Amino acid sequence: MSPKESKTTEPSPAELAAVTGFAPGGPLADYAAYLRANGHETVVADGGRRLWVSSGPRFLERMPIENYDEPDPAEVRGLLGRPGIWAATWVRAPDADPPPNAFNYVCSLKDYRIDGLPRHARADVRYGLRNYTVRLSTPDELADKGFAADADTAERHGVGRPTPEGLRRYAASIRGSRLFDIWGAWKGDDLAAWMTVARFDAFAMLCMVRSRSGARGSPNNAVLYVATRRYLVGDGLPYVTAGLSTIKAGTNALNLHEYKIRMGYEARPVCRRFAVRPLLAPVLKTRAGSWLLEKAAGTSSVLQRASGLARLMSGREKDPLAWACPQALAEESKDSGAAS
């Protein structure tokens, strides 16, 4: 370790909570209540051990994602029969047929630390910790200082531009919740990167992850590292989930994939299953419908998701995970765990 790197110090628990405290977390039922209170569709299943939650307009996704059981067909039919629900998705363990079509990003390292990361990530995290103060932040700070990172992230991902009012509503929705932590990388009063995390009894889930374009000093690496280490090492949770790879067309999925792997998250191949209302089948399950949606998607988040879904369901996507270039990533991670 060079003399410069040896000066890097991780924030103490007191420094992390200097402005506001940690959320204690709670059961999945609390998350269902939060979503319903904010106008989102939620269906509680299996005595509260599983949820079907809105992950986009007219779209339900099962959580925890790491529950790989096949749902009862009657349960799925009931979901699609609910007003306004057009599609439902869940995850199964990878099968030979059909092949895996998504990655589930999970970090479960009990000794998550800088020295256990690949070389480039080690440098980025240390750089970020030297240049920024990483700490828990308040909803008011998020609403007042977080929009630039929100807008820049949307632009990089090619989706519709958010609004300051939307971010203020989101910040207000999590104010006082026992589930949500807001992590920020600060330089003075500039919030260069932030993320919200839902903390449950058995795991933590990354929710919104945002950073300023062109922000120097790796603030996003610092935020993700400190938060992940807190939940795995400080709180002793079994895992932190960063969710599934996107099915949206036109997004920079490869960059996100590489970033998460370098930051110690495992990309687990899974088979993502979908069920849609019969009236949508001619659009989503045919090549013609898939081509039409792809041409119409533009920057619409809804149409981008529909276009990606149609590529999978129509069979146009022959090798759904080819974009990830696993051979190159394996070479990148060979030095993982070596001390600098």
pLDDT per residue over 189-211, tens digit each? 999 999 999 999 999 999 999 99
Q: What is the pLDDT of residues 14-48, one digit of tens each?
A: 999 999 999 999 999 999 999 999 999 999 998 88
Its domain, for residue 123, covers 1-28+109-238
Total length of the chain: 340
Q: Is the pLDDT of residue 338 over 50?
A: no
**What is the structure's pLDDT at 336?**
44
In whole angstroms, how far apart are CA 14 and each of 17, 18, 21, 136, 230?
5, 6, 9, 10, 12
Question: Is 7's pLDDT higher than 80?
Answer: no
| Dist CA 146 CA 140 (whole Å) | 10
Q: How many helices (H) and strands (E) does the chain have?
A: 14, 11
Q: Which pLDDT score is estimated for 130?
A: 95
Residue 136 lies in a domain: yes
Residue 203 included in any domain? yes
Q: Which helix (H) or strand (E) holds 244?
A: strand 240-244
pLDDT digits (tens, 9 = 90+) for 109-161: 999 999 999 999 999 999 999 999 999 999 999 999 999 999 999 888 777 78
Which range among 3-17, 221-235, 266-280 shows the weakest confidence by mean pLDDT? Answer: 3-17
pLDDT in tens, 89-119: 999 998 766 789 999 999 999 999 999 999 9
pLDDT tens, residue by residue, 298-321: 767 777 778 888 888 888 888 888
pLDDT for 285 equals 86
In the predicted structure, residue 1 carries a pLDDT above the cut 80: no
Q: Rounded to an integer, what distance in angstroms lies between the CA atom of residue 240 and that of residue 206?
A: 8
Q: Is 338 a member of any domain?
A: no
Q: How large is the average pLDDT for residues 285-292?
A: 85
CA distance 281 to 289: 9
> Hey, what are 270's tokens?
């899974």
Residue 9 pLDDT grade (very low, low, confident, very high; cuts 50, 70, 90): confident
Average pLDDT, the chain: 88
Contact residues for 185 (Cβ-Cβ < 8 A; gap 6+): 128, 132, 133, 134, 191, 192, 193, 194, 219, 220, 222, 223
Residues of the chain with pLDDT > 90: what percent?
A: 65
Higher-pLDDT residue of 337 and 160 is 160
Measure the CA–CA gap between 296 and 123, rounded to whole angstroms. Answer: 41
- Is 211 among the domain residues? yes
pLDDT reading at 251 higher than 70: no
The pTM for the full model equals 0.87
In a domain, 48, yes or no: no
Instruction: Please tell me which residue, 319 or 260, carries the higher pLDDT value.
Output: 260
For residue 334, pLDDT beyond 60: no
Residue 186 has pLDDT above 70, yes or no: yes
In a domain, 99, yes or no: no
CATH number at residue 117: 3.40.630.30
**Total count of domains within the chain:** 1
- Is a pLDDT exceeding 60 seen at residue 330? no
Structural contact between residues 204 and 22, judged by C-beta atoms closer than 8 angstroms: no
Residue 10 CB partners (closer than 8 Å, separation 6+)? 114, 129, 226, 229
Give the tens place of pLDDT for each residue, 60-93: 999 999 999 999 999 999 999 999 898 999 999 9
pLDDT at 11: 95
